[in-house]
Amino acid sequence: MATQPPRSHCEPRLRCPVSHPNKRFNYDYGQAEDLARLLIVVPILATGIYVGYESITRLSDLPEIDYIWVVAVAAIIGLKLWP
């Protein structure tokens, strides 16, 4: 039976996600998990860069708001509903 790695990086009250070695993955799922993390982080980082770029370009060229009263009503409703 395989032993679990030390749990020093996990908080005591939380379960530490640990995968155990098997016949296909001799040393657990470490590299596959790293690749999955990378595949998650790259789109989030790209989205953040895109949103930052769009916000900077919109500050220099402000779009005209056609229905300003709808924005005002939404703001008032949002402020009334916010605790």
Residue-wise pLDDT tens digits, 50-60: 999 999 999 99
Burial of 54 (0-12, 13-18, 19+ CB in 10 A): exposed
Residue 23 burial (CB count, 10 A): 5
User: Among residues 25, 44, 45, 23, which one has the least CA distance to residue 33?
Assistant: 25
Total-model pTM: 0.47
Please give the single-letter amino acid code of residue 79: L
Residue 28 burial (CB count, 10 A): 15
DSSP H helical ranges for 1-83: 30-60, 68-81
Q: pLDDT (tens digit, 9 = 90+) per residue, 19-65?
A: 666 666 655 566 777 788 889 999 999 999 999 999 999 999 888 88
Distance from C-alpha of 30 to C-alpha of 35, rounded to nearest angstrom: 9
